Amino acid sequence: MPFLLILAASVLQHPLHASEDNAIATLDNSPQHHIAQVTEPWHGTQIRDLHQQYGNIFKHGNRNAASHLWSKFLLERSEQMTHEALVTMFSGYCAVSGSPTRPSEYTRYRLTLDRVDGKGKTSGFMYYCCWPCVCDTQDFIKVDTRNVTTADGTRTYRFAVLGNPCDHPEKLHEPFQQPFNYGRGMSTIAQDAAEVRCDGGRLINAPLSDHGYIIIGMFFDVPGQSAANDWHDELPLPMTPVQPGRLTDMQGTKYQDEHEYAPMCQDRANNGYNSGMGEIFRRVGAISPIPIQTPPTIQALPGVSDTCASGDCKGHTAEL
């Protein structure tokens, strides 16, 4: 059978996390990738019920850059919740800071982020405690998938993910100057984000996505979107000039758009990230940034001209 083109895809190895040579991580089925369900019933039905678990979730320090612990608490109880309840509970905290939040049109932000599998960008919502989380998300967070079983069955969800900071656990102890602490001495991630703890190369109690990255929150679907219906070009862009705090309406769902905050993010960067979490989350996210796989390239078979490879074959064929 004649074929004109070959899609040359990179063969993926099987590391759990991004390796030193920036190879993309692949689906991992090891025991630590599995999230066991707790047997003790949890009767939480509202977001305040999740917030009341704060002391049980964060036992070794505060919530700074430790949203993976919120995610673990929910995912290991997912079979006790309906799909709707699980999605609602994930909107109860900020994936960047770890702060408890309450979903509203003013805490809901639309972002367009890279997928870890190299298949382009995808849009979705996130819930934040404050606007600087938009900037930190753009710089460090990517989107991956994971199948989750709820009381309604199993489906694929999109999640906000980070690279594994325990790829380089020594960096948790490197001193740095917080922009809020000038004159108060240096700090470390281990001091400011004590729940970011390593066991060898593993981030303790961190649930993993399909490609082995740290799940820190859900990447919520916009109206009409799902993990199987992945698009972003159709979403409305905000009016110009930008106006931080302005709401955009899409099919009755109101949200703030990341584009409104571009000048403020630049000003924050110019001033040493002196708002939001400052350097804490950024230091954690920068330890092992997620490499984005290069999309497959198109390569002509021997005997096929470049013109044919570009789609205008003019009678050229090649046999496989």
Give the integer Cα–Cα distance in Å for 26 and 16.
7
| Model pLDDT for residues 209-246, shown as the tens digit of each residue | 999 999 999 999 988 776 566 655 556 677 779 999 99
pTM over 0.95: no
Give the integer Cα–Cα distance in Å for 216 and 116.
14
| Model pLDDT for residues 20-50, shown as the tens digit of each residue | 333 333 344 444 477 899 999 999 999 999 9
Range with lowest mean pLDDT among 87-91, 242-246, 310-314? 310-314
Q: Look up residue 115 and give its two tokens.
A: 């997928």
**CA dist 100 → 78, 113, 157 (Å):** 19, 23, 21
| Model pLDDT for residues 170-223, shown as the tens digit of each residue | 999 999 887 766 566 788 999 999 999 999 899 999 999 999 999 999 999 988
Give the integer Cα–Cα distance in Å for 215 and 144.
9
* Tally of CB atoms within 10 A around 275: 16
Range with lowest mean pLDDT among 34-38, 149-153, 276-280, 301-305? 301-305
- Of 4 and 82, the structure prediction assigns the larger pLDDT to 82
The pLDDT, as a whole number, for residue 108 is 97
Give the integer Cα–Cα distance in Å for 200 and 247.
45
* Tally of CB atoms within 10 A around 192: 23
- Of 1 and 165, the structure prediction assigns the larger pLDDT to 165
Q: Look up residue 171 and give its two tokens.
A: 């960096």
DSSP letter assigned to residue 75? H
